[in-house]
Amino acid sequence: MKKIIILLIVIIGVTNISYGQTKEQDIVRLLNITNAKEQAAQMFDLMLPNLMSMVPQVPNAFWTAFRASLDLDAFVRLMIPIYDKHFTQNDIRELIRFYESPIGRKFLEVTPAFTRDSYLVGEQWGQQMAIDIVEELTKQGYF
């Protein structure tokens, strides 16, 4: 009986070790598990060609240096209040459990390619929408 009780205490203790003492600590852990910094860098990299085309006179060295200077930790700090506002601490812990599960790890593994593909589709959709708007405005006599 003592062995069972000790085993339960160890299991419960190990389960709780994976969480922080505060909600903010859990949010930071979630952001780390979900590669928030890497995702922010990827979004910048996806936007970079559009930024470069807007100011073609700017040399590539500028963009390389700017990319290297991104404060990705600041991005994580800015995300904490958003997670805090929309999720309870229990929600955050459930998300941690999900992302540590096999399907959660797979989701994280495919997220970079999924994000890139989604961005490209969104960009195409936005371009077509801009064409449609100009056509409709022209048809209605605004141009």
Q: For residue 75, which of 117, 105, 36 has the smallest C-alpha distance? A: 36
What tens-digit pLDDT sequence spans the chain (143 residues)? 555 545 445 454 445 446 779 999 999 999 999 999 999 999 999 899 999 999 999 999 999 999 999 999 999 999 999 999 999 999 999 999 999 999 999 999 999 899 889 988 998 999 999 999 999 999 999 99
Question: What global pTM score does this model have?
Answer: 0.71
Note whether 38 and 108 are within 8 A (CB): no
* Mutual angle of helices 102-139 and 36-54, in 10-degree steps: 30
Tokens linked to 5: 């009780």
